[in-house]
Amino acid sequence: MVEYLHLTSLDVGYSHKDYLEQFLNETKAYVPYLNKLTVRYRHLKAVTNNFTREETRRNCAKVNQLIIDPPLDNSEGHFHYFPSL
């Protein structure tokens, strides 16, 4: 596991979803101070297994600014996965 103790912002909006997997999966990376995440919705949905995957929940927990492409409204039901929003 790799620790990213100084990483506060991550933009993987135009990256392959495997990079998102590397940073969000807690068995591969520890990002305790990640508070801004820019991502494509379809990649986020796939990596988090439709926002139900436990291995990615912890690294998403402190994100307080989520920039998703395409933008979503609050009715999508994914915000429970990001409690700091």
Q: What is the pLDDT of residues 24-70, one digit of tens each?
A: 999 999 999 999 999 999 999 999 999 999 999 999 999 999 999 99
Would you place residue 85 in the very low, low, confident or very high pLDDT band (cuts 50, 70, 90)? Answer: confident
- Nearest CA to 56 out of 32, 23, 84 is that of 23
Collapsing DSSP to helix, strand or coil, 85 comes out as coil
**How many DSSP H helices and E strands does the chain contain?**
3, 5
* Cα distances (Å, whole numbers) of residue 52 to 10, 12, 27, 48, 80: 21, 20, 16, 6, 10
Residue 76 has pLDDT above 90, yes or no: no
Q: What is the pTM of this model?
A: 0.90
- Nearest CA to 13 out of 32, 37, 31, 35 is that of 37
Residue 79 has pLDDT above 70, yes or no: yes
